[in-house]
Amino acid sequence: MKEIVIATNNQGKLKELKEILAEYELLTLNDVNCKIEVEEDQETFEGNSKKKAKEISKVTGKPAIADDSGLCIEAFQGWPGVYTARFLGEKASQEERNQAILEKMKNLKGKQRKAKVVCVITYCENGKCILAKGEIEGKIAIEPRGENGFGFDSIFELDNGKTYAQLSEREKNTMSHRKRAIENLKKQLTSQ
């Protein structure tokens, strides 16, 4: 079974990736005793994803997968985008970030609440990188709903009226932005 290092310390992401990429032996940064933290300082999801995967692969000497994802709100020209996890600063909790988004959108109705979630995944091996993207359309809910998931899952509402956090892990992993990006990546890896 091929070993791939997953360049994240986010347990929610790791759990999701392990379920979707079950045919690979996925190693955490801790598994390979890698203590570096790659700074996400690029202007795009692609830039952050590629930077992380390249650096982790170089340091560990193994293939690496990294992703960058975020929430893009149409009414705010794609904000918070690459800053989804950091727009209130590094110390803010996800609940604080979600509340800030809801507060900023409190007067927006219907189509004004349109948003999408984007995920770019990069696979790097021996300095060569493959990028894959996945996204899903939806809107920002009026209030948080659901207990599952992580990040902005409780405020991102799908066309079926449920938030990501109201879906089971299995349901989410059959159609999420990350699932779409991983499937795109798998197609590219198997066509080589």
pLDDT for the residue 35? 86
Q: Global pTM?
A: 0.88
Mean pLDDT of the 153-168 span: 94
Does residue 24 register a pLDDT over 90?
Answer: no
Active site residues: 68
pLDDT at 104: 96
Q: Which residues does 123 contact at the CB level (< 8 Å), separation at least 6?
A: 4, 53, 63, 64, 65, 129, 130, 132, 185, 188, 189
Per-residue pLDDT, averaged over 179-191, amounts to 85
According to the model, what pLDDT value does residue 103 have? 97
pLDDT at 171: 86
The tokens describing 71, both together, are 């929430």
Ranking 43-52, 116-125, 135-144, 169-178 by mean pLDDT, the lowest is 169-178
- Per-residue pLDDT for 179 more than 70? yes
- The burial of 75, by beta-carbon neighbours within 10 Å (0-12 exposed, 13-18 middle, 19 or more buried), is given as middle
Flag whether pLDDT at 184 surpasses 80: yes
